[in-house]
Each structure stands twice: as C-alpha cells, then as structure tokens.
Amino acid sequence: MKTYLIIFTCCLIIYLILLAFNSINQQIANIWKLPLNTIDRQDWSTVLLEPDAHFKAPRAPFGKVKLHYHTGVDLQNRSIVQSGEPVYAIAAGKVIAIEDSLPQRRITIEHILPNRTKVWSVYIHIINEQVKIGDSVDTETVIARLMTPVELEIYGMEYNHLHLEIVKKLPPPASNFYERKTFRCYTKEEVDEYFYDPEIFLKNRIQPRRLKEH
C-alpha cells in the first residue's frame, strides 16, 4: 500500500509540474484584434452588428430551443465582404476544442491574460478550419473561414456572420458545454454568469493604430 501511495504521489507531482510548465510556456494574450479581415482589425467600427446581433439580445424560440438570450455577438465585415473570408484568432492562445458539425461548427481558443487568469474565445458558423487541437495561435493566425454564398444556400443564409463568444468559466472536458450554454441562457443573469460582452471586452483591449505623421 505504501508503494502505491509513493507512486501516486510521484505521478501527481509530475503532472502538476507539466501543467505549470505548459501554462508558463503558453504565450500571454497582450495584443487583441478583431477576428475578421477588416480594413483595420484594431478598430471596432470596421465591423457591423445588426440590431439582434448584440450581446444579450433576446432570441426567439426555434425547434426544441426555448426563448433565450444571445451569448455573443454576430460580426460582419463593414468593408466589401469577401467570399468565404478568413477568420483570425483574436489573441495569442491555444486551440483546445474543435466541435460540432455545420452550421454550428466551432473552434475554442484558451487565452492567458496578463494577470494569469484565463478566458476562452469561441468562433461559430465557420468552415474549413486551418488549425488543430493543441496548436498555438496569435492574432495573425487564420483559424478557419466564413461560408461562401453557395455554402450559405445549403446551410442557411442566416449564418452569414461570425458568432463570437468570450467565455468566463473553464468548460468541462469532453462535453457540449458551449452548445448547452449558447442556447440555454434563459435569463440575462445566466448570460453574465458564463460570458463577457465581446464588444466591451475587445474595445477595452484593442489598441488603435497611431496616426502617421504627414
């Protein structure tokens, strides 16, 4: 029994060391940018949000989904929309999940903030992912793309945007955490418990380019 306890303790110590090493080596998210290929990815005004695309906007029931509140923002490019335009990571981080099938395909990226706390960015209604679980990314990493008009005809024209979420709480491993919370926040308080408002979160972190001297 004593031998097993020693082995267990050693394994636990090794696991904790590896966990700490991994956290230390993951890049801190200091620079933040918009996820779409706008004319200036550090200017929030270059993305478009329809009236019902904002955080905590009420969403009508459909199918088996009850009336709920929007857990993210639906972003479109204000400039000329490219067919199947690229989607970028909003900050340095690590891909921890690639889940679900179209049109709810999503990528989840874990970010470490300067204060060492973590948040997770989630990108939904994407296709043709360019990353895999475990990959390190930064603001210049193309992680996927939006759907083309032909693909939208197949999956639904209502998916002509990027749904972006900023998650507060660590998702349980091997679960459909995001799917459940995306469609099951029946009060605004529930939304606030699990999610940040991406507009406020990014506006507080993206840094406008300095005006060039003429």
Burial 51-63 (b: 16+ CB within 10 A, else e): eebebbeebeeee
The DSSP 8-state label assigned to residue 31 in this structure reads -
pLDDT (tens digit per residue) in 113-153 = 999 999 999 999 999 999 999 999 999 999 999 998 889 88
Q: What pLDDT is recorded for position 170? A: 67
Token readout for 50 is 């329809």
Q: What is the pLDDT of residue 17?
A: 46
Model pLDDT for residues 152-208, shown as the tens digit of each residue? 889 888 888 999 999 998 655 544 444 556 767 778 898 999 999 999 999 999 976
**Fold of the CATH domain 29-203:** Glucose Permease (Domain IIA) (2.70.70)
| pLDDT (average), residues 59-64 | 78
Residues 146/159, Cβ–Cβ less than 8 Å = no
Quote the pLDDT of residue 73: 97
Q: Which residue, among 86, 93, 163, 156, has the nearest Cα to 128 in the 3D structure?
A: 86
DSSP bridge pairs for 145: 86, 127
Radius of gyration of the chain, Cα coordinates, nearest whole angstrom: 19
Query: What distances in angstroms separate CA 191 from CA 38, 71, 81, 104, 105, one per listed residue?
Result: 28, 6, 30, 19, 21
How does pLDDT run across 11-27, given as a tens digit for each residue? 545 544 444 444 445 79
